[in-house]
Amino acid sequence: MFERPGNVPHADGLLPGWGCEVNEARFVMVDATGRTSTFGVWAAGNVVDPRAQVITSAGAGSAAVIAINADLVQDQRAEAPASYT
């Protein structure tokens, strides 16, 4: 049997302070890659899913990092001189 402790976001949470949308329980809402409603901000783990255990949080963090990397590469390609693309 597993019993998890209560997990409640801080009322003065950093992510809501940045304008990230939260649900009725005050957990940050994200898409499948961990992208929040605030441009340039991703979230994963227990700030998103209070039921996430370590391995689930690590997997969500990995997915977010992959998405961040893809966005950075896309931004660099958009800014690169035409001779580099």
Q: What is this structure's pTM?
A: 0.76
With helix as H, strand as E and coil as C, how does the chain read?
CCCCCCCCCCCCCHHHHCCCCECCCCCECCCCCCECCCCCCECCHHHCCCCCCHHHHHHHHHHHHHHHHHHHHHHHHHHCCHHHC
2 or 23: whose pLDDT is higher? 23
The domains found in the chain, sorted by start residue, are 14-84 (3.50.50.60)
Q: Using CA atoms, how far apart are residues 67 and 71, in angstroms rounded to an integer?
A: 6
Q: Mark residue 29 as left, alpha or beta (left: phi above 0; alpha: psi -120 to 50; beta: remaining).
A: beta
Q: pLDDT digits over 18-48, tens only?
A: 999 999 988 999 999 999 999 999 999 988 9
